[in-house]
Amino acid sequence: MKISEKFKEGKEQKRSLLIGFITAGDPSIELTPKFAKALVEGGVDIIELGIPFSDPIADGPTIQSSSMRSLSNGTTTKDILDISKKIVEELDVPVVLLTYCNTIMKMGIEKFLQGAKKAGISGIISPDLPPEEAVEYVRLAKSKSINTIFLASPATNDMRLDRIIDSTSGFLYMVSLFGVTGTRDLFTEYSSQATKRIVEKVNGRVPVAVGFGISRPEHVSNFTKLGVDGVIVGSAFIKIIEDNLSNTDLIIDKLNNLAKELSQATSN
């Protein structure tokens, strides 16, 4: 299923989509599809798989630790593409990869995108890839029917936001706050105001999904009321994995339960 089809489905159902992030290979490559299944059965609409990186500049301690666990297991990009294909085929949901540019360059852009296409990947997020330097990459990704998802933050001015909107496809990833990923108790007024501004500026040209810090049903509900098309949750799911590494069944139950709680808060 394409990302655009999922967002259309959400709009018809008058709800925002729930996008769930986990790091591929944490704590093992074999468990990643099982965790993805638990999330989807709990109500997650799109799976975002993180390719582990040794220096993830946009990520807080929880996701950094998750990346280190995955890397220590010897997880490779090929492993991740293989399990992505399995998730796409078994769960029939869009799968998006989050990866830093170095990983793509190391494999080679053409080879990476070709592998992603074979795996059925719907979109790729690269937090350190600016649209100004991505023209050829976007062209190659588009030729393989892969969306390139760019990020905007509360600091993004209107001129740059127009450039990002024109370049992004699938959805625009709106960073809800200044700083790195990680759960938050409260969001300040500037997060709300920035979200309103970006949603108004986008004006339906592309879906807007907001992430960073979202971990509770009330967060999901509040951002949905601000008009976003999707909410992205990562650290809260990964914290469940981190806290229960010796008990796979408990991880699966807790992931499923949190996904259910969050998905119930997505109605407009």
Q: What is the pLDDT along the chain (268 residues), one digit of tens a residue?
A: 899 999 999 999 999 999 999 999 999 999 999 999 999 999 999 999 999 987 756 566 888 899 999 999 999 999 999 999 999 999 999 999 999 999 999 999 999 999 999 999 999 999 999 999 999 999 999 999 999 999 999 989 999 999 999 999 999 999 986 544 444 445 567 788 899 999 999 999 999 999 988 999 999 999 999 999 999 999 999 999 999 999 999 999 999 999 999 999 999 7
> 0.85 cut: is pTM over it?
yes
Q: Which amino acids are annotated catalytic?
A: 48, 59
Tell the CATH topology of 3-263.
Answer: TIM Barrel (3.20.20)
CB contact set of 156 (below 8 Å; sequence gap of 6+): 164, 198
Contacts of 30 (CB under 8 A, 6+ apart): none
Q: Is 55 exposed, middle or buried (0-12, 13-18, 19+ CB in 10 A)?
A: exposed
User: Concatenated DSSP letters for the chain?
Assistant: --HHHHHHHHHHTTB-EEEEEEETTSS-TTTHHHHHHHHHHHT--EEEEEPP-SS-TT--HHHHHHHHHHHHTT--HHHHHHHHHHHHHHH---EEEE--HHHHHHH-HHHHHHHHHHHT--EEE-TT--GGG-HHHHHHHHHTT-EEE-EE-TT--HHHHHHHHHH--S-EEEE-SSS-----S---HHHHHHHHHHHHHHTTSS-EEEESS--SHHHHHHHHHTT-SEEEE-HHHHHHHHHTTT-HHHHHHHHHHHHHHHHTT-B-
Domain map (residue ranges) of the chain: 3-263
Q: Which two tokens stand for residue 175?
A: 């960073």
Contact present, 28 and 69 (Cβ < 8 Å):
no
